[in-house]
Structure 1
Amino acid sequence: MSIGTGPSTDTLRQTLEAQLRQHSEDLAALTAAGADPGGTGEDPDTIATRAAAARRAIEEINAALSRVTAGTYGRCERCRNPIPDARLEILPHARFCVPCQARAS
């Protein structure tokens, strides 16, 4: 992927890896909290919802890292056009450009 004035693929990979570490740590803490929900003071449903969100984020980030390795990172999975740098900065695991994402929603 060629990125113009935006961040390099290496920078975005580092961002993805940092996010992966954070979500993995969050999931571990939520899993422990789910085993003893009274210990955190959180509602068990809230813990389960947050854990599910962390799992989804981990899946999305792992998929993005796979795209980096495959050389397809930064290209829309639908139209194959480049995803704008600004979108990747905000959402580094983005799979679609904004028009294709809008059509999918």
Structure 2
Amino acid sequence: MDTVDLVAARARLEEQRADLDRSLRILTGERPAYDASDADAGARLTDAAGVEAALASLRRQRAAVQAALERIDQGRYGLCVTCGGPVPPGRLEARPDAARCVPCQARRDRRRR
């Protein structure tokens, strides 16, 4: 059975977290002032909604990465948070923040639809 290289997993997760933190800082930084004309109002609302959606997505991703780092610290990395079974190393290679085995993730995805 393949094993997970925890040192490599931690390094990848920490790199992902740093990238996400940089993106969050950029999106939450100062934005240029806009002209208050009516023509620009709709564009600003659309831009603001897009930024908020991007921020929400980045925050979810960061939380998943942070949870994976905590699972490493707790000795639970590579174990499904739902059933306790192993998360395949190939899945962790593709998604180091994966918290569930494939069957449990598929069930969760079906319920969320």
Which interval holds the TM-score relative to the shorter structure?
0.7 to 0.9
- Please give the alpha-carbon distance, in whole angstroms, between the structure 1 residues aligned to 2:58 and 2:82: 25
CA RMSD of aligned residues (A): 2.1
Aligned mate of 1:93, from 68, 72, 97: 97
Note the C-alpha offset of 1:36: 3.9
- Please give the alpha-carbon distance, in whole angstroms, between the structure 2 residues aligned to 1:76 and 1:18: 23
1:57 aligns to 2:77 (yes or no): no
> What is residue 38 of structure 2 aligned with on the other side?
none
Gaps of 5+ in 1: none
- Calculate the TM-score normalised by the size of structure 1: 0.84
> What is residue 12 of structure 2 aligned with on the other side?
15
The AA in structure 2 aligned to 1:25 is: R
- Calculate the TM-score normalised by the size of structure 2: 0.79
Residue 15 of structure 1 contacts residue 92 of structure 1 at CA under 8 Å; is this kept in 2? Answer: yes
Secondary structure (helix, strand or coil) at the match of 2:100 reads: coil
| Fraction of identical pairs, as percent | 35
- Please give the alpha-carbon distance, in whole angstroms, between the structure 2 residues aligned to 1:84 and 1:97: 7
Residue 37 of structure 1 contacts residue 44 of structure 1 at CA under 8 Å; is this kept in 2? Answer: no
Note the C-alpha offset of 1:37: 7.3
1:66 aligns to 2:66 (yes or no): no
> What is residue 2 of structure 2 aligned with on the other side?
4
Are the structure 2 counterparts of residues 80 and 87 from structure 1 closer, same or farther at C-alpha, using a change threshold of 3 Å? same
TM superposition outliers: structure 1 runs of 4+ over 3 Å: 35-38
Secondary structure (helix, strand or coil) at the match of 1:76 reads: coil
Secondary structure (helix, strand or coil) at the match of 2:29 reads: helix
